[in-house]
Amino acid sequence: LKSGRVVWDTDETISKLADAKAEMESGAESTAKALERKCISGSDEACWDLMKIYYKENNYGKAADFAIKACDRGVAAGCAISATAYIAGMGVEQDKMKAVEYSKKACDGGHARSCGYLASLYLEGEDVKQDYAKVRIYAQKACDSDVATGCSILATCYVAGLGVKENYTKAKEFYGKACELGDNKETCEFYKYLRDAGF
Q: Which domain holds residue 150?
A: 114-199
Does the pLDDT of residue 46 top 70, yes or no?
yes
- Where b means 16+ CB within 10 Å and e means fewer, 36-54 reads bebbeeebbebbbbbbebb
Residues 20 and 100 in one domain: yes
pLDDT tens digits, residue range 51-88?
888 888 889 998 899 889 889 988 898 899 999 999 99
In this structure, the answer to whether residues 59 and 126 fall within a common structural domain is: no
Comparing CA positions, the residue from 65, 66, 45, 63 lying closest to residue 54 is 63
Domain shared by 166 and 190, yes or no:
yes
Q: Is 112 in contact with 82 (CB distance < 8 Å)?
A: no
Classify the C-alpha dihedral 188-194-198-199 as positive or negative: negative
Q: Which pLDDT value is given to residue 103? A: 97
Q: Which of 95, 110, 125 is the last residue of a domain?
A: 110
Domain boundary (47, 82, 110) is at 110
- Residue type at position 37: R
Same-domain status, 106 and 119: no
18 and 68 inside one domain: yes
pLDDT single digits (tens) 90-125 = 999 999 999 999 999 999 999 999 999 999 999 999
Q: What is the pLDDT of residue 143?
A: 98
Backbone angles phi, psi at 93, to 5 degrees: -70, 135
Whether the pLDDT of residue 14 is over 50: the answer is no
Distance CA 173, CA 154 (A): 10
For 170-195, give one letter per residue: b (16+ CB within 10 A) or e: bbbbbbbbbbebebeeebbebbeebe
Closest C-alpha to 104, from 92, 131, 91: 131
Query: What DSSP character marks residue 131?
Result: -
**DSSP 8-state symbol, 160:** H
Alpha-helical (H) ranges within 57-125 are 60-72, 76-88, 96-108, 112-124
Quick one: the chain helix, strand, coil %, rounded to 5? 80, 0, 20
Number of domains in the chain: 2
Final residue of a domain: which of 76, 110, 144?
Answer: 110
- What's the pLDDT tens digit per position in 137-196? 999 999 999 999 999 999 999 999 999 999 999 999 999 999 999 988 999 999 999 999
The pLDDT of residue 19 is above 50: no
- Looking from the CA of 121 toward its CB, the CA atoms found within 13 Å total 20
105 and 22 both lie in a single domain: yes
CA 109 to CA 192: how far, in whole Å?
A: 35
197 plus 141 within the same structural domain:
yes
Angle between helix axes 185-196 and 148-160 (nearest 10 degrees) is 40
Query: Looking at the structure, do residues 11 and 92 belong to the same domain, yes or no?
Result: yes
Q: What is the CATH number of the domain that holds 38?
A: 1.25.40.10
The answer on 193 and 171 residing in a single domain is yes
Same structural domain for residues 148 and 65? Answer: no
